[in-house]
């Protein structure tokens, strides 16, 4: 069975984890600090990194560290994993959705501009599937409206934009190291920033609000959670980070093989191949009504033939939680089209081009035969 994602774990990672387990110190410690330094060096731009137990925690802590709370609004795309919006609710602010662009699935700057109000404090673009959002337009929009820019780069470790890596901009940029991401720490995340005050606040927020002093004393001046990354995960991350460029190179090769071999058909919409893309996922849109069939039937048909497909993602504004904020069908037509038609194809470094050929052959059969 060919899954849509699979972490690349070798003896190197197993040995690194075993060494931490044998050390007697398995929670946050020297490996987490080493991983932070390695991330900062990899990302570049003079930033520092702080690691967390998830990208969700990293996003939540970033909002809190920027002083976002009750009465504030955060503008974000309607197409993302629901954590992007959930953290806004978690800190007491209001998520305000904007539409996305069809091929990139990234935030549409024009739609974002129309969503800004006098209560807007943050612009939060998502780098969907590893493709950088239109940061030039987004930065201009945030500066013109005096907004904090927090980037959800959960899917974009190793992605590039213009002359630098995603994360090197200096504003808060949040990454994920979940097992389906381009590198993994089992569960984990990080924030990249060049603001020393923000970094210090992130350190307090991620561990009970505790501030430590040189004389060994501590103080607690504000609320903090339990968001720290253990050394076991950090050790795994250090080995994975050293392989990240190779992982991403293989992902790009596989994605381009898909783009060459998938059938050209008006019912199948393919993603764009853009420089700097790290290809966390390869997502297509399939017009199920035109076939005609249903997504469930197609996914089951692929599974019966040894291939598992994913769905990334439903449109967030149509979840019950966000309908209660007044959102409904028709608000964001591009995000809703993607949500209705999306399929995620298998993509991970251990795949072979023969796997790509298998998937592409099934799409040929699906589009030119009897639909399931």
Active site residue 226: no
CA 191 to CA 175: how far, in whole Å? 6
Crossing angle of the two packed helices 295-304 and 353-368, in degrees rounded to 10: 130
**Number of residues written out for the chain:** 372
Answer whether 213's CB lies under 8 Å from 232's CB: no
User: What is the phi/psi pair of residue 151, to 5°?
Assistant: -95, 125
For residues 131 and 155, what is the distance between their CA atoms, to the nearest angstrom?
A: 8
Spatial distance between the Cα atoms of 90 and 43, rounded to a whole number of angstroms: 28
Tokens of 53: 């137990």
**Which residue is associated with the tokens 């849109």?**
285
Exposed e or buried b per residue across 308-339, where buried means at least 16 C-beta atoms within 10 angstroms of its C-beta = ebbebbbbbbbeeebeeeebeeebbebbbbbb
Q: Is the sign of the CA dihedral 360, 362, 368, 372 positive or negative? A: negative
Catalytic residue among 6, 181, 243, 250: 181
CB 40 within 8 A of CB 192: yes
Catalytic residues: 181
């Amino acid at each position: 069975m060919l899954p849509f994602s699979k972490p690349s774990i070798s003896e190197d990672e197993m040995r690194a984890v075993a060494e931490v387990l044998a050390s007697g110190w398995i929670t946050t410690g020297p490996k987490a600090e080493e991983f932070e330094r390695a991330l900062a060096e990899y990302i570049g731009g003079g930033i520092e990194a702080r690691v967390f137990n998830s990208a969700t925690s990293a996003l939540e802590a970033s909002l809190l560290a920027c002083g976002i709370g009750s009465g504030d609004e955060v503008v974000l795309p309607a197409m993302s994993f629901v954590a992007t919006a959930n953290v806004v609710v978690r800190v007491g602010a209001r998520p305000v959705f904007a539409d996305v662009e069809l091929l990139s699935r990234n935030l549409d700057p024009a739609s974002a501009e129309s969503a800004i109000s006098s209560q807007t404090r943050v612009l939060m673009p998502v780098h969907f599937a590893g493709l950088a959002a239109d940061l030039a337009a987004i930065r201009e929009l945030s500066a013109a409206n005096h907004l904090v820019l927090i980037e959800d780069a959960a899917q974009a470790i190793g992605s590039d934009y213009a002359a630098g890596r995603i994360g090197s901009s200096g504003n808060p940029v949040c990454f994920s190291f979940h097992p389906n991401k381009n590198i993994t720490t089992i569960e984990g995340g990080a924030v990249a920033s060049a603001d020393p005050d923000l970094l210090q606040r992130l350190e307090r927020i991620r561990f009970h609000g505790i501030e430590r002093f040189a004389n060994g004393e501590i103080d607690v001046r504000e609320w903090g959670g339990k968001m720290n990354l253990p050394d076991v995960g950090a050790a795994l991350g250090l080995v994975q980070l050293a392989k990240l460029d190779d992982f991403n190179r293989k992902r790009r090769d596989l994605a381009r093989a898909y783009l060459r071999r998938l059938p050209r058909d008006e019912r199948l919409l393919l993603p764009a191949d853009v420089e700097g893309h790290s290809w966390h996922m390869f997502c297509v849109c399939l017009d199920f009504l035109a076939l005609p069939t249903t997504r469930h039937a197609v996914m089951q048909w692929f599974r019966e033939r040894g291939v598992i497909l994913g769905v990334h993602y439903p449109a967030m504004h149509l979840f019950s939680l966000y309908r209660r904020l007044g959102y409904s069908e028709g608000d964001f037509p591009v995000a809703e089209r993607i949500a209705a038609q999306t399929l995620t194809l298998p993509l991970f470094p251990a795949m072979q081009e023969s796997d790509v050929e298998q998937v592409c052959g099934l799409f040929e059969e699906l589009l030119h035969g009897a639909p399931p």
